[in-house]
Structure 1
Amino acid sequence: MPLFALDRSVPGLIVKIGNYPLHHGGVGAIRSLGRLGVPMYAITEDRFTPAASSRYLTKAFVWPTTGLECSDRLVEGLREIGRRIGRPTMLLPTDEEAAVLIAEHADALGEQFLFPRTDPRLPRRLASKQGLYELCVTHGVPAPKSAFPNSRADIEEFAATARFPVVAKNREAFERRRTPAVSGTTRITGPGELLALARGWGERPGVVLQEYLPREQAEDWIVHAYVDADHSARTLFTGVKVRSWPPHAGMTACAYVVPNPELATLAGEFIKHIGFSGIVDLDWRYDRRDGRYKLLDFNPRMGAQFRLFEDTAGIDVVRAQHLDLTGQRIPEGEQLNGRRFTVENIDLPAMLAYRRSGYTTPHAPRRARGTELAWLAPDDIKPFFTMLARFVRPGVKHLFQLWQGHRTNVSGRDRI
């Protein structure tokens, strides 16, 4: 049992922008706070998302967005939700767009909502590959060598001098909502392939060309933390990623909690130097060739796999933020090493893909000391079946909608 009590007068609201209904992080946050009696609300694409079916959700606000809306419209939509909730509510963004929106419009949202205040320009910079790389260079934090071409000529010059293979990624996190230059992380084997791809990138390529870190010489590590107003990590966790989907470039499919004091110190000092406050989810890659941890991504918000991490006091990053923003003490505890997190719908294909990949994680324990499943929970079973209905095939989804129809008509779902 947790060694603390949360202020149940302050609800939580899951804030998401864009269409990605199968998000286990939002479900995890609803359960984490809801199990301790905190009223939970969520923005959902429709009435039949896993988050909307959780027994711990007080109300779902159906508000389909694309990420292309103007910020004034999104801010006013959030404020309308705040008026409907009717009391100060803690915001929990699940994507970069939501985190940036909240930071850049803190004054407009601050009357109705609670959230950590940070430099309003910082989350957008951290969500940008170029912005993050520049911060890493400034503060001496290792990162994969990166180039940011601004023209076709820049790409031709890079192709003539670079060491291949390289990796191409979209420069800005928000490009996935528009027409992205590349689909996810793309490995490019030589100059000819790069120049051929670049024909579709336009006059101003929105890509970053990054050093390739061979998977057989690398390990993927993750750091999650809650950082207070003084930019100090009040709780910080380290773990190793065993599998992701898509392989080696996507979200965590399976990971373990593993102590890593060196990485914890590196991450904590970087966070403090840049002056960030709030929940963070950092992706690092350990390069065995030079023995350095290199920062790949800095997500200025709750990560989908945050429930991997909990300490002996029952604290995760979401609970830590709620305690801090409501003026309560965050109890100290040690991270539960050996704990495993598995995302059921993507770990099986990931497991098959990794069999011949050459990727190894020698630091991962051979046996888990407890497993947290992303979807299946004995006390909250419906999100699992809702996920299956949407993930497996449309016919199953349709049957589930018919079964749920009467209940959702009277369960208090609101549309924005």
Structure 2
Amino acid sequence: MPIDLIRRPLDLDRALRSVRDWSPDRPGAVILGASPNGLSFVRSIGRRGIPVVVLEGPKPLPALHSRWACGLHHPDPVDDEARWMEVLLAIGGSAPTPPVLIPTGDAHVLLVSRRRGELGKSFRFVLPDAEVLEKLPNKSEQYRLAAESGVPIPKTLYPSSEREVEEAGREVGYPCIVKPHYAHLWKRRKEGKLVEAGDAAELLRAYRGAAEIGQAVMVQELIPGGDDALYGLLAYYDRESRPLCLFTKRKLRQYPIGYGDGSLQVTLRVPEVKELGDRFFRSMRYRGLGSVEFKKDERTGEFKLIEVNPRSVSGQGMTTAAGMDIPYLAYLDIGQVERVEPTDRFREGVYFVNERWDVQSFLQYRKAGRLTFRRWLGGFFGKKIAFAFFSWRDPGPAAALWGRVLLNRLRRK
């Protein structure tokens, strides 16, 4: 395939012509979501000569510009599920053998789960049971399931009135956090993952703000510790719920700092995180891609559940860089291309950088007086570094990203 510096999304007709030419001997892949999460699958699968189509909503996200994918723009799947189904069924019906289907966002996972009967005729995918998937995007259900399986959780209350909010604040203590039950719906109307409340007035204001957009929330204790107190398990379970891939890592910085997405992370063996996350997933006979995040409570040393994602996450590319290529291993198992043996082997000390988020994280840390430019830049030298966007072999995503950043700056001047 020739290298285009910035590959452009295609129209559906051209994409379908490409799909019809796929080899019947090996399934192609259809990735739902073009974020850095989706990009990790596009690159891992596509660089091996496997054809890839990536579907995204209206945002110009990076995987749409990869040399290894045919990109398609559509409305948001929450707004126009019918259009996504029309496109998916057209792709599945045009392929000479059922493609591997990998949803990378909450809305994508719920779409595939709810329409699994129709999509299962044209695609191969591995997901948890529908009942499990309807529960897991709801963070209140995550904490209930965790408690039932013996996984430690922060003190959490679920108010349904302003009076109960005030009582929750007194019981949990300040500062506390206000967290939505459904993060993907919250993000459509609010910035950030949650709200930190320093007193009763801020807590009540956060609750009222959530009520205005129809979002139920929980009030949770604030576990002391910085961004580097966050640890995670990235996993893949096969159709029989066997854990084929168990991978642990630690966050070092986030954007926004405190309650964001990992901008700098490092691969690290953390046996307790592996055991707790695996216990949680096994308790529901989990299948497919998933991740669990914990925060280490500096008061007790205990790892407490922060969130569960019934899908892959933005840092998925670090597994490829560290030698446990979960995107490709998942493709092999889902497509039944070859047998995949369980593994927990990976290289420690590989640093994974989301370039855009880490620049923004650095600026916030510097403003808070917690990081200088010299320390930030010097921290990358002498380390094994992998990037979310930049790749010499696939320059389009990074070029498109920084081109948009530059263009936006010029427009503001």
Quote the sequence identity (%).
Answer: 25
Instruction: Tell me if structure 2 keeps the 8 A contact 1:285–1:294.
Output: yes
SS of residue matched to 2:71:
strand
SS of residue matched to 1:388:
helix
Give 1:11 deviation, angstroms.
1.0
Correspondence for 2:305: 295
Give 1:219 deviation, angstroms.
0.5
**Pick aligned residue for 1:35 from 43, 47, 56:** 47
Give 1:205 deviation, angstroms.
5.5
**Pick aligned residue for 2:167 from 154, 157, 182:** 157
Q: CA RMSD in A?
A: 2.8
Correspondence for 2:36: 24
Letter in 1 for 2:39: V
Q: Quick one: distance in 1 between partners of 2:25 and 2:309?
A: 28
Letter in 2 for 1:377: S
Letter in 1 for 2:352: F
Q: Quick one: distance in 2 between partners of 1:323 and 1:137?
A: 34
Correspondence for 2:79: 68
Q: Quick one: distance in 1 between partners of 2:387 and 2:41?
A: 13
Give 1:353 deviation, angstroms.
2.8
Change (3 A) 1:340 1:350: same
Correspondence for 1:215: 225
1:200 partnered with 2:186: no
1:374 partnered with 2:374: no
Instruction: Tell me if structure 1 keeps the 8 A contact 2:267–2:349.
Output: yes
1:104 partnered with 2:121: no
Instruction: Tell me if structure 1 keeps the 8 A contact 2:207–2:217.
Output: no
Q: Quick one: distance in 2 between partners of 1:9 and 1:265?
A: 35
Q: Quick one: distance in 2 between partners of 1:8 and 1:60?
A: 23
1:338 partnered with 2:352: no
Give 1:151 deviation, angstroms.
2.0
**Pick aligned residue for 1:185 from 167, 188, 194:** 194
Correspondence for 1:410: none
> Which structure carries more relative contact order (alpha carbon 8 Å, separation 6+)?
1
Query: Per-residue displacement from partner, 1:45-84 (whole Å, max 9, x unpaired)?
Result: 4695422221111x22221226233x55543442233234
Correspondence for 2:330: 321
SS of residue matched to 2:209:
coil
Give the TM-score of the pair, scaled to structure 2.
0.83
Instruction: Tell me if structure 2 keeps the 8 A contact 1:50–1:386.
Output: yes
Unaligned 5+ segments in structure 2 are 1-23, 372-378
Letter in 1 for 2:236: Y
Q: Quick one: distance in 1 between partners of 2:321 and 2:354?
A: 20
Change (3 A) 1:65 1:281: same
Q: Quick one: distance in 2 between partners of 1:301 and 1:340?
A: 22
Q: Quick one: distance in 2 between partners of 1:9 and 1:301?
A: 24
Alignment of 1:118-157 (within 5 A): 118-157=128-167
Change (3 A) 1:200 1:35: closer
Correspondence for 2:271: 261
Alignment of 1:213-252 (within 5 A): 213-216=223-226, 219-252=229-262
Q: Quick one: distance in 1 between partners of 2:317 and 2:112?
A: 23
SS of residue matched to 2:136:
helix
Letter in 2 for 1:319: Y
Instruction: Tell me if structure 2 keeps the 8 A contact 1:310–1:335.
Output: no
Query: Per-residue displacement from partner, 1:256-313 (whole Å, max 9, x unpaired)?
Result: 001111211111121111211001122111112112111111111111111112487x
Q: Quick one: distance in 2 between partners of 1:229 and 1:74?
A: 25
Aligned residues: 377
Correspondence for 2:10: none
Letter in 2 for 1:12: A
Give 1:160 deviation, angstroms.
4.2
Unaligned 5+ segments in structure 1 are 1-6, 360-364, 398-416
SS of residue matched to 1:31:
helix
Correspondence for 2:11: none
Instruction: Tell me if structure 2 keeps the 8 A contact 1:68–1:177.
Output: no
Give 1:85 deviation, angstroms.
4.0
Give the TM-score of the pair, scaled to structure 1.
0.82
